[in-house]
Structures are given as structure tokens and as C-alpha cells.
Amino acid sequence: MASIGHIAVGMALGRAYSPDPKVARRAAVALTLVSLWPDVDAVGFALGVGYGESLGHRGATHSLLVALAVGLAGYVVAERRGLPAMRTAVFVAVVAMSHALLDTMTYGGGLGCALFWPLSDARFWSPVRFIPIAPIGMRLLSARGLWVMARELVIFLPFWAYALWPRRKPASA
């Protein structure tokens, strides 16, 4: 994936988080970062970490159990800021899990996701795979990279529409 889908999910759930546009905007930024965070493991390529290792790409950070832990961190942060802690935890965990699950729906190379790390290093694929894998790094700016991005834009159109649809103005009394 070219991350466009992950961004769409983060933005859509940010909007769903709160009816207050100001809160929803902040939630959209925060949840988009949560949605993208598992791919920090891509620095492993530069550091010489093997793709198939626990800390390799789509390893530990793409685990559903780690996503739950991230949700827990969301709970703590929300509680400190006076936000609804349980609601925040659920949104954060769902967005973090969506990243790994969407990655398992890609095709075109690479490895699946270590969904159950640290219990298992096994990599998993979804039985349904319809999202083309993105070329890594600057190669994203190739013809194939642009095709992947365009396709992701289309696949995630419902998320974009929901995230960006103008809100109805509150009736002025």
C-alpha cells in the first residue's frame, strides 16, 4: 500500500470520533498518525534488519496485540487530557489494527504481517487480496507507483467521502 488508504481510514475515524468539528479535526490528525505508525519499521531496511525478522517490515509493529497495547496507550493519554478514555482506546486500537489487516490484503510481493507477535513470528495474508503493494521509497514516484496510489484513492473513496464531506451547519436560532 502507498499509505493513502491508511490516511483515509485515520481521517474517517477521526471524523466519527466526535460531532464537535474542532475535536474531530484533532482526532483525525492523531488517528492518521496512529494509522501510519506501524510503517516506522521501514527504517529497518536502512539499518540492515531483514524483512522476515521480528523487527523487520510488517513484523512486530504490525501485530494485532501491539495494536491493543497502542489502544491502551490511547486510553492513558485520553484520560490525562479529560477525553473519553474508553472511546479513545477503542478508536486507537481499531485504527492501529486496520493498518495490519489492510496490509494483509495487498498483493504483488513482500511478506505478510506478524499479526500475533510476540506469540508467533508467523506472517499472515488475508484470504482476499485486492490492494496492490506499493514500490518502496522514491520508486513510488514511478508510473507503477502512481498507478498504485490512484487505485488506492479509488478503493478508499468511501472513507475519503465520509472524512471530507462538509458538515451541515447547525441551524441558527
Report, in Å, the least distance between residue 3 CB and Zn ion: 8
Which of the 8 DSSP states describes residue 153? Answer: H
The CA distance from 10 to 30, in Å, is: 8
Q: Hey, which residues between 17 and 56 contact Zn ion (CB under 5 A)?
A: 38-39
- Rounded Cα distance between 73 and 63, Å, is 15
In the complex, the smallest distance separating the C-beta of residue 99 from Zn ion, rounded to whole angstroms, is 6
Contact 24, 18 (CB under 8 A): yes
Residue 135 as a binder of Zn ion (CB under 5 A): the answer is no
Q: Which of residues 53-112 bind Zn ion (CB under 5 A)?
A: 103
Distance CA(168)–CA(12), nearest Å, equals: 16
121 binds Zn ion, rule: CB under 5 A: no
Q: Looking at beta carbons only, is 65 or 85 nearer to Zn ion? A: 65
Provide the binding-site residues for Zn ion, judged by CB under 5 A. 38-39, 103
